[in-house]
Amino acid sequence: MIDQKLKASAFAASALAFASFGDAFLYAYLPVNYLLAGVPLAWVGVLLSINRFVRIFSNTAMVRLFDIYGLRTVTILAVITAIVSTLGYAFASSVLIWLTCRIIWGLSFSAMRVSTLAYGIQNEKQGIALGLSRGLQEAGPMIALLFAPFLLRHFQGIDLFLVLAVGSLPALLFAFALPKDKSTHVAAGNRWRLRIPSLFNCLTLVSAILIDGIVVIVLGTLFLLHRPEISLLMATSLAAFYLGYRRMCLVILSPLGGWLADKFGVIRIFNVSLICVIAGLALVSGGWISTGLIIMFTSYSVNAAITPGVLARTKNGSLFSVAENATWRDVGAAVGTLAGGFLLNASSLKIILFVATIVLAILFALHIIRLSRSIQVANLWR
């Protein structure tokens, strides 16, 4: 018989997966089709990043809501508002409506993400519960990105989001199937503020700016720059395909990264994966887009999954350190998404990507130097 708490964790993650359809495809659609959506170019990055900025500040508030109203009730409300935000994309007639929908989605996502973590933490088998939860969450956006381009052939432009909203309705079934236990078993914790990022957190910040932010936004534009003969539909489809591949890597390779880290050492796998990320970025900026994207997204899924493990093995590897690093990843994704919107029409886009890749490589070299010195110091005390 399936453990009830494990089932609850799977239901919460499935609700988030289905509710994510609209947001996932928007990243492939809006940067290329902003004119059809009635969105000024200058607002593309703002609209695609505002939800990420909301997430940085809303987690504590969501935990408090869960303490007051319970996981199930808040999760159901979050699913409803998430579907409403997807409907809003289809009917948005002004930037203000777009902005409102994106803020609503940011709050909804924050609530659903905390909910999945809460149900996972309550399980005795936390590793299985959290691993299953992460896989299910990423499966939803992956499905949307892989299949939505085919729907574009039958539904014109922004009307596709009506279809995606309808496709998100099963999220309500999973949310209502959650247990009615009001207890959250999650402590809000003490309030804290971000410090100046350490070298390791700078690595996380810059890689998130580039991969979770800029590359995701300018992907369709990159294909148009290197293959000007293709149509907007083809560029959108290619962007959606590779973003779907990115999600697929997160679903499949994140557990594999953990296994490799256990077998060969978490720091070693982290370093190798980051080298591959930098190589993939260099290929993308040099014009080998498809090859670079495959290498970059494949290795980044491993790198991001085992980053908390690296922190756990350092002298200061506390829960605070892990939370701080995750927040810098959110900050990087938000800043990168915002910057990507302003780079959509930049003539020097390839040069900017190349320079940013060099910055990441320099930070990684400094990280290796510091790591080597730490090992030497540790050997002196043996």
Residue ranges covered by each domain of the chain: 1-181, 194-382
Whole-structure pTM value: 0.69
Helix/strand number for the chain, H first, E second: 15, 0
Q: Render pLDDT for 272-308 as a digit per residue (tens, 0 to 9).
A: 999 999 999 999 988 898 899 999 999 998 887 777 6
- Please determine, for residue 88, whether its predicted confidence score (pLDDT) is greater than 90: yes
Question: Tell me: the pLDDT tens digits for 230-263?
Answer: 788 888 888 888 888 887 888 787 767 766 776 7
pLDDT band for 177, please (50, 70, 90 cuts): very high
Distance of alpha carbon 267 from alpha carbon 210, whole angstroms:
22
Read off the pLDDT of residues 116-133 as tens digits, 9 standing for 90 and up: 777 766 666 544 565 567
Statement: residue 381 has pLDDT above 60? no
Largest CA distance in the chain: 68
- Amino acid identity for residue 113 in this structure: R
H/E stretch holding 99 reads helix 95-121
pLDDT of residue 176: 95
Mean model confidence pLDDT for the chain = 81
Region of poorest pLDDT, from 95-109, 203-217, 252-266, 311-325 = 311-325
Distance CA 27, CA 299 (A): 21
- Residue, of 323 and 294, whose pLDDT is higher: 294
Q: Which is more confident, 373 or 267? A: 267
CATH 1.20.1250.20 for domain 1-181, yes or no, is yes
How far apart (Å, rounded) are the C-alpha atoms in residues 89 and 27? 12
| Mean pLDDT to the nearest integer, 30-48 | 86
Of the candidates 274, 289, 292, 304, which has an alpha carbon nearest to the alpha carbon of residue 367? 274
The pLDDT > 90 percentage for the chain reads 27
| Fold matches, 1-181 and 194-382 | yes
Given a contact cutoff of 8 angstroms between Cβ atoms, the answer to whether 52 and 176 are in contact is no
Confirm if 99 and 42 have CB atoms less than 8 A apart.
no
Q: Give the tens place of pLDDT for each residue, 46-70.
A: 898 898 888 877 766 777 787 788 8
pLDDT confidence bin for 315, thresholds 50/70/90: very low
Please give the CATH architecture assigned to the domain spanning 194-382.
Answer: Up-down Bundle (1.20)
Q: Is the pLDDT of residue 380 over 60?
A: no
- Positive/negative CA dihedral, 27, 31, 32, 35: positive
Q: What is the per-residue pLDDT for 317?
A: 47
Contact in structure between 17 and 141 (CB atoms under 8 Å): yes
Q: 3, 120 in Cβ contact below 8 A?
A: no
pLDDT of residue 100: 95
